[in-house]
Structure 1
Amino acid sequence: MSDASDGERLTVDDEIVARARIHAREVAGDGGDGEYELPVDLEALEWNVSARARRRAGACRWDRNREVATIVLARRAYERYEWPEFAAVVRHELVHAWEFQQFGESGHGPRFRERAADLEAPRHCRAFAEPRYVLRCRAEGCDWRATRHRASQPVKAPDQYRCGSCGGAYEVEHVASGRTWATASEYGGAKAALGDDW
């Protein structure tokens, strides 16, 4: 953190938003360098920082009633990425904001991919946090796997869900300990056994 001129303490979140806004002006063509150009309405754009996000480096939400897009950036991603990679995340989210502003919807389809490529923005961002859980198919010959950062229902009760590829049963691994389970009761047992190490 650093001190502002009026004595107010600036936070990492303030820094993230400030740098993202400056980059957004450059991308919108207001930065003077002409490197990127996306006609996003910066006046209809809000910024937020998430301290909890572990999977997504950024997100863009659309408030249809106010016609305002809110870009949410992950503090952890900012702390782990170098600026050029994080700036690419900002451009990715700006493409979503532009789509919402122009079309009232946004996704990762052809229109998005074309604009993102023009801005050298990735379609998907590199993971910035190790998953807490890994789900793996137990069927022979199936290599399906998924990761989770939180103990969602598929983590807590894997016997009630199916493999995303072959439909077979899967097991869950607690990455830090290596413990695995395939039922809700085994999940409870693993959690109890690990105690404070959970």
Structure 2
Amino acid sequence: MTEGEELTIDDEIVARARIHAREVIDEHDLGLALDALEWRVSARARRRAGLCRWHADREVATIVLARRAYERYEWAEFAAVVRHELVHAWEFQRFGESGHGSRFRELAATLEAPRHCRSFAEPRYVLRCRERGCTWRATRHRASKPVRAPDGYRCGDCGGALEVEHTDSGRTWESASGFGGAKAALGDEW
């Protein structure tokens, strides 16, 4: 950083995450190689608070943290996201792979890291079963295939037909053409 240059929110996120990571690694004697750990901030992420990418060719793990999550969570919850991603980094460095299985759960419990992190944004779409009495629903942040063409998918519980709601407008559709019609009708409000 040069003289007169101000720190950004991204600089703050990375600095706090690195400090917390060092404390966790030292406290739990993880043996995680800090020199093989990179940090990034995503301004685009809308759903995922963090992720860990493994670059096997360089044997480096990159932890990517969502700026929006940092802005919406209290520090304790965001620090838990950092610990969650540290578990992935540890698995990558030790085993070359990572998931949310028993090995992950065991270390996550030791570090008081959640198995899954809470979404920090409201979903853009809600998928619901149309069958009477069925309460199945799923949320989406992007226009995935089931959102664009719900008639090609079935309820996860009873197998019934689906409908999709655009949460901002309340418009619903049950087919690909319904999706196109809703999108066209909403225009800039989409």
TM-score > 0.5, shorter chain as reference: yes
Map 1:1-198; keep pairs closer than 5 Å.
Answer: 6-29=3-26, 34=27, 36-198=28-190
Deviates more, 1:56-65 or 1:163-172: 163-172
Number of equivalent positions? 190
Amino acid at match of 2:57: N
Q: Give me the whole-angstrom Cα distance separating, in 2, the residues matched to 1:67 and 1:162.
A: 41
For the 8 Å contact 1:37–1:119, the answer to whether it is kept is no
Q: TM-score, normalised by structure 1?
A: 0.90
CA distance in 2, matches of 1:127, 1:184: 27
Tell me how far apart the structure 1 counterparts of residues 94 and 158 of structure 2 sit (CA, whole Å): 39
Alpha-carbon offset, residue 146 of structure 1 = 1.1
Output one character per residue of 1:123-153: Cα deviation in whole Å (capped at 9) or x when no partner.
Answer: 1112210001001111233322111111122
Matched residue SS, 1:61: strand
Deviation (angstroms), 1:166: 3.1
Residues 194 and 70 from structure 1, CA distance in 2 versus in 1: closer, same or farther, beyond 3 angstroms? same
Deviations 1:85-119 (A, max 9, x none): 10110000000000011011111111111101111
* Farther off after superposition, 94-103 or 48-57: 48-57
The worse-fitting range, judged by mean Cα deviation, of 61-70 and 142-151 is 142-151
TM-score for both structures, normalised by structure 2: 0.94
AA in 2 matched with 1:79: E
Q: Could you say what secondary structure the match of 2:51 adopts?
A: strand
What is the DSSP-based 3-state SS (H/G/I as helix, E as strand, rest coil) of the residue aligned with 1:9? coil
SS at match of 2:10: helix
What stretches of structure 2 of length at least 5 have no aligned partner? none
- Which piece of structure 1 moves more, 158-167 or 92-101? 158-167
Residue pair 1:158, 1:171 contacting (<8 A) in 2 also: yes
Structure 1 alignment gaps of length 5 or more: none
The separation in 2 between residues aligned to 1:110 and 1:141, in whole angstroms, is 36
CA distance in 1, matches of 2:30, 2:126: 38
